[in-house]
Structure 1
Amino acid sequence: MTDRLRRKIWMFWIVLLFCSFGKVAMGDTIRLHDQIGVTGNTVTLGEVAELSGRDAIMFADVVVGAFGETQSKLDVQMDDLRLLLREKGINLARIDIKGYDRCVVHRMKPTREEESQNEPVFANTDVQVDVKVDTTLRGLLIRKLASEIKTELDDVRVVFQKRDLNFLATSTMGKKYDIDFSSRNRIGRVSMIVREITGNKITSKQHVAAMVSKRVVGLAIKSMIRGGETVRSDQVERKEVWSMRRIDEPIASMMLIEGQVAGRTLVKDTLIYPDDLRKPRLIKRGEIISVYSIVSNVVVQLTARANEDGAMDDVITLRNIRTNQEIYATVVGRGEATVYQAKTDVGVEQAKQAQVEAVDREARS
């Protein structure tokens, strides 16, 4: 063998080695989620992980866990997942497994709406179709998501992953699809399973992921408000934004912020939600306050030390300065409260009687 031929053979193996590394580096991925919720008895790979690439998606239906009859939570460990995939004959050299070390799977009870949504979605089709309606799979999924979050089509924004765009351009005319969700999320990051149904058989299945937001209108901060500061009407303005928040609606009425205090620092242009505000603190922990109680048409005033902070109408615990007795009282003003109930170990009714007797003793002294 000549030196020239030997060099060519070496070059061939070097090129082959680089191609192999390139293929692994650019291979499919399985990214394990942190936690999910499912309604079934079994858990599949497509539910616990985000699958990227044709080879990875082929194994979406591999069962990676199952609930016992009374079990409500199970863990899918990264190491166990690797071992299971090897046992299934999956070549892990071509698939990159990453993400969290484990996925906590919660067993959820399906709602009535979810149970009724198990019926296949008929894309349409023997009736006349409005030319303005998007008859692609993309349009079908957007309409489904708008229905799920109970908003109009114009008020929902859906951004699909680039890898799914060709699939989503498929026409739904004359076809029937079943759309299922991999988790309980309907806003934010949403994972869906799209099945095409022909007759009584599933002829194809595709996992689709999207970022979903909805249009909301609420009061937004015009300039930063620090925690503890009173929010004024001139510091806010009505604003329209695209939100991915799953719970609560932003505050939209000026009346609902009147007299309220920022519970945390609120930065410019952010919407105000109910948990961002709190009532102003009228009593501070450790403060000596006046406590009033009406007994037999007689108003008795006591002096007590507050065990905790309190806002208007809050029920807090106090300690009578003279008797050292712990009592409950309702905040009615700055540094003032009314007796609510004595704290004793003899039952509610007896506790109330004990409180009356204590107040009578204060009145006679």
Structure 2
Amino acid sequence: MMFRLIAALRRGKTFSALRRAALVAPAVLIGLFSADAALAEARTAVVPKRIIYPGEEIDAGQLEVVEVTNPNIVKGFAEDISAVNGMVTKRTLLPGRVILTSALREPFAVSRGTTVQLVFDNGSMVLRASGTPLQDAAVGDLIKVRNKDSGVIVSGTVMGDGTVHVVAK
């Protein structure tokens, strides 16, 4: 090997070898920097400590934060306990598995069959009546509600205080 290098130096054919080395060195350095950046951006995920069944409200005591070691993990998982705390599950969550945000929903503000207050606000005129929601709904959802007095079904938006603001047709 040493004899070939000396012979190449005498013939002046080392330029291509130097050129290859000059092209390879930056690529190696970029690879090292990107590996350091990946290590600096250590991602975390929220996982349950026990089985959580559908319809259960999630409590922070049921969860733990772990470091994500799989670089090919699917996106859309919860990375912080505060983003999951108080949410309700749509499907079974298994211990040690990441919690996908698509498997969670806001808790219902009104439940089907209960009594809610209907509010119609048209500037200076405000009408209030009792109604029965025809479906479960979270805050901000548009639902159908049956007026208890007239039996008419109206649509409205669920508000944070549990009332339904009726929309005009």
TM-score of the pair, normalised by structure 1 = 0.35
Distance in 2 between residues matched to 1:265 and 1:332, nearest whole Å:
29
* Equivalenced residues, count: 144
The aligned residue for residue 24 of structure 2 is 129
Distance in 2 between residues matched to 1:229 and 1:294, nearest whole Å:
35
Distance in 1 between residues matched to 2:63 and 2:25, nearest whole Å:
42
Q: Post-superposition shift, 1:216? A: 4.5
The aligned residue for residue 321 of structure 1 is 148
Q: Post-superposition shift, 1:298? A: 4.2
2:111 aligned with 1:284, yes or no?
A: yes
Q: RMSD in angstroms over aligned alpha carbons?
A: 3.1
The aligned residue for residue 306 of structure 1 is 133
Q: Post-superposition shift, 1:337? A: 1.5
Q: Quick one: which amino acid aligns to residue 217 of structure 1? A: T
Distance in 2 between residues matched to 1:243 and 1:126, nearest whole Å:
30
Q: Quick one: which amino acid aligns to residue 222 of structure 1? A: K
Does structure 1 retain, via aligned residues, the 8 Å contact 2:119–2:127? Answer: yes
The aligned residue for residue 230 of structure 1 is 57
Query: For residues 82-111 of structure 1, what are the alpha-carbon distances to aligned partners after superposition, in whole Å with 9 as ceiling and x for unaligned?
Result: xxxxxxxxxxxxxxxxxxxxxxxxxxxxxx
The aligned residue for residue 267 of structure 1 is 94
Q: Post-superposition shift, 1:128? A: 4.2
Between Structure 1 and Structure 2, the one with more strand by share is 1
Q: Quick one: which amino acid aligns to residue 133 of structure 1? A: V
Q: Percent identity?
A: 24
TM-score of the pair, normalised by structure 2 = 0.69
Does structure 2 retain, via aligned residues, the 8 Å contact 1:217–1:239? Answer: yes
Does structure 2 retain, via aligned residues, the 8 Å contact 1:216–1:243? Answer: no
Distance in 2 between residues matched to 1:127 and 1:285, nearest whole Å:
71
Secondary structure of the corresponding residue to residue 24 of structure 2: coil
Q: Post-superposition shift, 1:259? A: 2.0
Does structure 1 retain, via aligned residues, the 8 Å contact 2:46–2:65? Answer: yes
Q: Post-superposition shift, 1:228? A: 1.4
Distance in 1 between residues matched to 2:104 and 2:71, nearest whole Å:
19
Q: Post-superposition shift, 1:265? A: 1.6
Q: Post-superposition shift, 1:279? A: 0.5
Does structure 2 retain, via aligned residues, the 8 Å contact 1:220–1:237? Answer: yes
Distance in 2 between residues matched to 1:336 and 1:272, nearest whole Å:
31
Distance in 2 between residues matched to 1:125 and 1:326, nearest whole Å:
77
Distance in 2 between residues matched to 1:233 and 1:286, nearest whole Å:
30
Higher relative contact order (CA 8 A, sep 6+): 2
| Contiguous gaps of at least 5 residues in structure 2 | 1-18
2:122 aligned with 1:295, yes or no?
A: yes
Distance in 1 between residues matched to 2:71 and 2:115, nearest whole Å:
45
Q: Post-superposition shift, 1:311? A: 0.7
